[in-house]
Amino acid sequence: MAAVFALSILALAGGVHAAFPDCANGPLANNTVCDATATPIERATALIDLFTLEEKLNNTGNTSPGVPRLGLPAYQWWQEGLHGVASSPGVNFAASGPFSYATSFPEPILMSAAFDDALIHQVGLTVGTEGRAFNNFNRSGLDFWTPNINAFRDPRWGRGQETPGEDTFHLQSYVYNLLTGLEGGVEPQYKQVIATCKHYAGYDIEDWEGNVRYGFDALISLQDLSEFYTPQFKTCARDAVVGSFMCSYNAVNGVPSCANSYFLQTLLREHWNWTSDYQYVTSDCDAVQNIYEPHYYAPTRQQAVADALNAGTDTDCGTYYPEYLPSAYAQGLFNISVLDRALIRQYAGLVKLGYFDPAESVSYRALTWANVSTPGAEELAYTAAVEGITLLKNDGTLPLSPSYKTLALIGPWANATTQMQGNYAGIAPYLHSPLYAAQQLGFTVNYAAGPGVDDPTTSSFPAALAAANASEVIIFAGGIDDTVEAEAMDRYTITYPGVQLDFIDQLSQMGKPLIVLQMGGGQVDDSELLSNPDVNALIWGGYPGQDGGTALMDIIVGNAAPAGRLPVTQYPAEYVYQVPMTDMALRPGPTNPGRTYKWYTGTPVVEFGYGLHYTNFSATLGAEKNCDSYDISTLVEGCLSYSYLDLCPFASFAVNVTNTGSSVTSDYVTLLFLKGEFGPAPYPNKALVAYDRLHAIAPSSSQTTTLNLTLGSLSRVDGYGNAVLYPGSYTLVLDVDSKATLTFELTGLESVIDYWPQP
């Protein structure tokens, strides 16, 4: 046993950074792995063939020691990059100077509110570029454990901030654009970095009433699995051809995800055709251990590691593989070919990154510190914040009149710095707080921290009320932050924590303009603020990143116009008492009022897609070809050349948007929903099927965009998980206030366009 321990310690030594193997003069120079004309699988296979059994077993954890005798460097697989190159075992920021920081974008939940795919693509591209530059100087590995695309199913979830929201179509569109940015395209010659779609699948509970993510068994119907929990992962695998997947902590229907061959083989590799030889699955950190405990799925530690390896978990973030695969192998619990397959997949991934190729043939190797936190990247971080910030209420107080000179800036977010980054953050070049931004704008600012996010006491009130008293305008910046929503910490209430509502109410009685900034990733019930006429404006600001304060203040004073849309439903406070977080069903039931805007049967406080502007818009919606009725069999027959029928175009619709205001230039997001009673009951309230963001529409002028629908846009999912076209009446609705509608029929017999593999 001692030998294994010693090796494991080696494998875990921190701070191991990428160094490229020497394919010119090193021991591998004449091995096929160094032959750039061979395929990745040929190259990786040739490499693994050189490994002894012990060397194979040692390279199965996230901190891979490599094989020194072969000149194969150690490699750390764990890099984070959720919204910028982030602090993590494989990322090593310098104390100062070059590589001491990286661009820190807003959290995904805020970026998603921009509904701007091009923006997201650009963000992905930038994060990937900065990661590559870090790697070139031995400060990062080449793969990043991003994005988190579990849907924001329940408002209590502590990690909802990391996701692009609650809507599957939106998630799919977002993640496709992000991934092709991060990795540098769909199946490029060399990947810029490898991204990792996580957490596959059904993961969206941290710790709720003793249900801890490591041991929670999510009971999910095939219908919900196909319709809600996996479409975004399908997009990763099948359409964006991402380099890596991460299996999740939880079990689904009794099987821990990292031991779930239905997930890892049947759906992922077979149904979604994720078969490029350089694709691998990593476990979430110690999810392999969790198969043994606390899932108690495998009776021994050896069986747990064998179950994971056999199911298709290729590398273990943790120590269970290097520690227990040796004895599992001795017990005959897996075949050597399965271990080889796992290693070949990993190293083929590195091949695909150009890891074994000459620097001069991999253009990414030329990236340096000059490519990090460039003026363009800084501008992009600012833009991402501005585009996502969402105006929820405004009685005309905003944009603020230039006549005001003194501001009270109060609340737990008023002087936010790292708070603005949320979780999985790196070191930012700067962190411009609302306070800093207000001062830069020339205001005389009376700042007071006021009550903390979850502070139950009133001790801060007098000083904060005095600051308000001394000012012309009051801005309260509060809501929630990572002290109440975080990894390993779900919420139990979705009201404003602490005494914030009491305090805001007192501010509202002072007879001064009052603007409330509701910050944080999850929503809080704004009912009281929306109904209080003395709360003049309400803005949701998420976690706005390095330039968040500037973005918020620019919107407040009108230097920028808000056009973000809420990417989640804001439920009333009582929602948390109406459905257990552990109820995974989307559709309403006796103890479930339904989840997301598609299925919620109550009245949301603020609905999905809502967002105000500083001007007014009108819009028209027209089909490119006028057609009132489509025959289903004709539609399907016209698509037979497509590998995936759901991607086959159905029709395009032109949306013409006019800024009917007279003074403010503004962006506008075209949200196109589909409604109708077709397919199996119950019917969703509506479903987002397309969107675009139009930029800078000047007063009294118009812009047009084309929204493309596919057969997938029209399909619904049956009880087996199949995607089906159903006859019926379909109505397209533009925007949440129904600015325009368009109706058409589908006729003929229903037709399955995707058969869901049965477990």
Chain contacts with its own copies (rule: CB under 8 A): 1-2, 5-6, 8-9, 11-12, 207-210, 212, 214, 285-286, 289-290, 292-293, 318-320, 323, 454, 456-459, 461-463, 465-466, 469, 488, 492-493, 499, 501-502, 510, 576-577
Instruction: Tell me the closest approach of the beta carbon of residue 502 to its own copies, in angstroms.
Output: 5
H or E element, residue 199: strand 194-200
Q: What is the DSSP letter of 121?
A: H
Q: How far apart, in Å, are the Cα atoms of 535 and each of 404, 501, 528?
A: 17, 11, 9
Instruction: Tell me the closest approach of the beta carbon of residue 14 to its own copies, in angstroms.
Output: 9
Cis ω on the peptide bond leading into residue 456 (within 30° of 0)? no
Token output for 56? 């194979």
492 vs 755, beta carbon nearer its own copies = 492
187 vs 293, beta carbon nearer its own copies = 293
36 vs 573, beta carbon nearer its own copies = 573
Which residue has tokens 């919107």?
A: 555
Instruction: Tell me the closest approach of the beta carbon of residue 298 to its own copies, in angstroms.
Output: 12
Contact in structure between 222 and 756 (CB atoms under 8 Å) = yes
Q: How far is CA 154 from the centre of its chain?
A: 15
593 vs 622, beta carbon nearer its own copies = 593
Instruction: Tell me the closest approach of the beta carbon of residue 317 to its own copies, in angstroms.
Output: 8
**DSSP labels, 324-381:** HHHHHHHTT-S-HHHHHHHHHHHHHHHHHTTTTS-GGG-GGGG--GGGSS-HHHHHHH
293 vs 379, beta carbon nearer its own copies = 293
Q: What is the DSSP letter of 139?
A: S
Contact in structure between 516 and 535 (CB atoms under 8 Å) = yes
Instruction: Tell me the closest approach of the beta carbon of residue 343 to its own copies, in angstroms.
Output: 20
7 vs 723, beta carbon nearer its own copies = 7
Which of 205, 104, 30, 149 has the alpha carbon at shortest distance from 420? 104
372 vs 480, beta carbon nearer its own copies = 480
SS3 (DSSP) at 557: helix
Q: Reply yes or no on whether 284 is catalytic.
A: yes
Contact in structure between 363 and 357 (CB atoms under 8 Å) = no
328-332: Cβ within 8 A, 24+ apart: 328/302, 328/303, 329/53, 329/57, 331/302
462 vs 649, beta carbon nearer its own copies = 462
How far apart CA 619 and CA 704 sit, in angstroms, is: 9
Instruction: Tell me the closest approach of the beta carbon of residue 636 to its own copies, in angstroms.
Output: 47
Token output for 741? 């509608």
Which of 88, 84, 169 has the alpha carbon at shortest distance from 123? 84
- Name the catalytic one among 116, 143, 284, 547: 284
Which of 246, 260, 316, 326 has the alpha carbon at shortest distance from 288? 316
97 vs 210, beta carbon nearer its own copies = 210
How far apart CA 236 and CA 175 sit, in angstroms, is: 7
214 vs 630, beta carbon nearer its own copies = 214
Instruction: Tell me the closest approach of the beta carbon of residue 485 to its own copies, in angstroms.
Output: 14
Token output for 258? 């990292």
Instruction: Tell me the closest approach of the beta carbon of residue 461 to its own copies, in angstroms.
Output: 5
**Amino acid letter, 631:** D
The set of residues, in sequence order, having a beta carbon less than 8 Å from that of 312 and lying 6+ positions away, is 261, 264, 265, 268, 269, 281
Per DSSP bridges, beta strands 406-410 and 444-448 are parallel
Token output for 284? 């979430």
Instruction: Tell me the closest approach of the beta carbon of residue 542 to its own copies, in angstroms.
Output: 23
What is the radius of gyration, based on Cα positions, of the chain? 26
535 vs 746, beta carbon nearer its own copies = 535
Instruction: Tell me the closest approach of the beta carbon of residue 183 to its own copies, in angstroms.
Output: 28
487 vs 631, beta carbon nearer its own copies = 487
How far apart CA 146 and CA 195 sit, in angstroms, is: 6
SS3 (DSSP) at 227: helix
* HEC string for 30-71: CCHHHCCCCCHHHHHHHHHCCCCHHHHHHCCECEECCEHHHC
Contact in structure between 725 and 635 (CB atoms under 8 Å) = yes
How far apart CA 450 and CA 461 sit, in angstroms, is: 6
**Amino acid letter, 529:** L
Which of 267, 284, 265, 192 has the alpha carbon at shortest distance from 229? 267
Which of 148, 202, 215, 247 has the alpha carbon at shortest distance from 521? 148
Instruction: Tell me the closest approach of the beta carbon of residue 285 to its own copies, in angstroms.
Output: 5
Instruction: Tell me the closest approach of the beta carbon of residue 9 to its own copies, in angstroms.
Output: 5
- Residues labelled as active-site residues: 284
